[in-house]
Amino acid sequence: MPSQPSPTRSLQRAWFTLKTLNLPLRLRSVRYSLEKAYAELKYAEPIKPRGGLKLWLQAIKQRNQPHLVPPPFDAFDKPGAVLSWKHNKNQLTLTCQNASIQLTAFAERIIQVRLYRNTPDTTPSYAVNKPAEKWHSPRTTVAEQGHLIIFKTAALTVQVNQQNSTIDFLDQSGRAINLDSGGLGWSGQWAATERNLPPYTPIFGLGEQASLLNLRGRSYKIWAKDPGGVYSRGDNPLYQAHPWFLCLNQQRAFGLFLDNTAYSLFDLGHSQPNSYTLTSSKGEFRYYFIYGPDVKTILSQFTNLTGRMAMPPLWALGLHQSRWSYKSAKEVKAIARQFRERHIPCDVIHLDIHYMKNYQVFTWNKRRFPKPGEMVKDLKEDGFRLISIIDPGIKADRLNPLAEEGLKQDVFLKYPDGEVFKGPVWPGDCYFPDFTDPRVRIWWGELYRPLVEAGIAGFWNDMNEPALFGRNDGTIPNTAQHNYEGHQADHAQMHNVYGMQMARATRHALTALRPNRRPFVLSRAGFTGIQRYAAVWTGDNESSWEHLQLGLSMTLNLGLSGLSFAGADVGGFQGTPSPELFARWVQLGAFLPFFRIHTAQGTPAQEPWSFGPKVEAIAKKYIQLRYQLLPYLYTAFWQAAQSGLPVARPVWLNFQDDLRTHSLEDQFMLGDALLLA
């Protein structure tokens, strides 16, 4: 079970809030927590919104409640016995007593399983990049054997028990890969499956988890959330939501992806050591079972389904230097000059929120950055690119022309009664674009034009979980409404893909505005498939030895979830590393796919020379080694783009049959041939 925040950790988060938010924003964040709870109660039934003092009192009680808890799986309704079945090409549809189940063979090793009670859902999947009609449908056969229906491809056998509609997966010779235990079920909008977990097999994936590499034995919430300051080992959920895991059975490994964007729970051997339960809170229950037997095949199939990263620009593989914030053009140029004078390679400098005017996106603070185009030009002549941060919130102010234009163009999220939603972030109350609307993505993309024309090389999408200033789950109310590509959905269903769709809009904008250059986008939030649009990092980590280790395991599990271009803030974002810790972190970071030194406001300087000559010499040596290895690293990125294999890999990925590698936490492979230990 994910750990609960300790009193010490809660105090640290409270102190972080006090340090970073002014008094009006702190007060506004308290009020917003109440407003969010009220909005979720008011529009619980959108056709008949409620109101009044009684509802406000109820909101006060509810404002700090955690996510709803589903009923126990034993209490779920079940499909019942199979009444009839129909086989059509690569699809088997089962009509059961209480529901229907549809099995579709996307490929010989990929089976989609759908549970529906009325008709199949026709809304698009944001995760699946290659829908069924784009696959070369494999040949399938169906036969009845007693009470079993046998659905076969050349590599997989799916065995359906007609008496209770349970589903077993076997290999072509009939050996069990993954067996059912409780079947499929639902309770209200909740839906779930309970299946057997092979004993002694580690589990990996789930994107971004503050955990050791092996995820077995715990329960995980699938929900994109800003932890609001420092996170520690065991904290869940974090910034990204990836409902995907790998089970490393030595001879018959498999992966399972739950294609559902709503809040979900993955119990991976926590409640019962030899079973796993996947539960979604709303929407159609649809999962993909992917068979290996080797994990490289699974990852190739999974990324064929959900998409692979495109090759990034070469400069993005170099060192990125950042902090919250370099607050003037003069300071940025001074940092760049130090790198060149000290002969330390560096390609990229990041601009955090202080380059903006009053934290308003797509603006410049002209007092601190009077001539941004000239600054960018000077830096580029010295071999540097600039990346600027962009948050999703647009200041809700009649004097803000961007807000006025957005209201006129009808691009912001609304409540069911048409009221435009607004909530507090850095500039104060903000409107939030609906990135699930194609029209809004185009509108948003055009806003980048002045920054691109000024020469900004790439963009860093932050606060896009989306994160708002409020207690507990500080985000947009679940009852806010989204376009969802014309299908309409509430925020409860679209929350997990908000950051991904923002990154999508950003990447497409860069592609349109600079068609002859590879775009670079960095995103804090993401859902399965984000690798098609952006690189990612592990968020606001801490300057500690624990986080040095977490950065490695988190990056490796991100890679095993399809996100090859990933890394952690070198040196730690919050706190002050010791000279030894910083040196060790540079030594590790130099071999991770995304290599950025970054630190928070109010912390000491964290450039390679900030800890004295001895540490500078160590940092310089390993940064130079990174650049010497760029041809090799570039090849590893090409492999990731072509096959889905991660750039940074657990040792066992290259040596799956060696059981001794399955528990290694302090070694990893960079590409095919380089072992780091």
Instruction: Tell me the catalytic residues.
Output: 462, 465, 540
Question: What dihedral angle (degrees, nearest 10) is formed by the CA atoms of 334, 338, 340, 341?
Answer: 120
φ, ψ dihedrals at 482, nearest 5°: -120, 155
Q: How far apart are CA 408 and CA 412, in angstroms?
A: 10
Query: If DSSP codes are grouped into helix, strand and coil, which group holds residue 341?
Result: helix
∠ Cα 146 149 152 (to 5°): 130
Q: Is 69 exposed, middle or buried (0-12, 13-18, 19+ CB in 10 A)?
A: exposed
DSSP 8-state symbol, 433:
B
Distances (CA, A) of 173 to 255, 371, 627: 19, 69, 48
Q: How far apart are CA 493 and CA 478, in angstroms?
A: 8
Closest listed residue to residue 33, CA positions, set 475, 481, 430: 475
Distances (CA, A) of 91 to 87, 97, 153, 528: 6, 20, 11, 25
Question: What dihedral angle (degrees, nearest 10) is formed by the CA atoms of 182, 184, 185, 186?
Answer: 140
Q: How far apart are CA 204 and CA 553, in angstroms?
A: 10
Q: How far apart are CA 175 and CA 388, in angstroms?
A: 53
Q: How far apart are CA 490 and CA 481, in angstroms?
A: 5
Q: How far apart are CA 623 and CA 399, in angstroms?
A: 46
